[in-house]
Amino acid sequence: MKKFSFLQNLDADLKQSLMVQLRNLWTHTSTAIEGNTLSLGETAFVIEEGLTVSGKPLKDHEEVVGHAQAIELIYSYLDRHGGITKAELFDLHKAIQTERIWDMPVGNWKVEPALMQAWFDLLESYCRADLDKEKALNAYAALHISFVRIHPFFDGNGRIARLVANLPVLKTGLPPIIIATEKRREYRGLLSRYELAVGQPVAGEALLPQNSRLEDFIKFCGASWKPSLEIVEAIHDKQAMRNRQGA
Average confidence (pLDDT) over 174-189:
97
**What's the pTM?**
0.94
Residues making up the binding site: 155-162
Q: What is the pLDDT of residues 44-94, one digit of tens each?
A: 999 999 999 999 999 999 999 999 999 999 999 998 888 899 999 999 999
- Mean residue pLDDT of the chain comes to 92
Q: Does domain 5-246 have CATH number 3.40.50.970?
A: no
Domain chopping of the chain, boundaries? 5-246
- Core vs surface per residue 107-129: b (16+ CB within 10 A) or e: eebeeeeebbebbeebbeebbee
Q: Please name which of 142, 176, 162 lies closest in space to residue 67, comparing C-alpha atoms.
A: 162
Residues making up the binding site for ATP: 155-162
Q: What is the pLDDT of residues 81-95, one digit of tens each?
A: 888 999 999 999 999
Burial of 131 (0-12, 13-18, 19+ CB in 10 A): buried
| pLDDT value for 82 | 81
Residue 61 near residue 27, CB atoms below 8 Å: no
Q: Mind telling me the catalytic residues?
A: 151
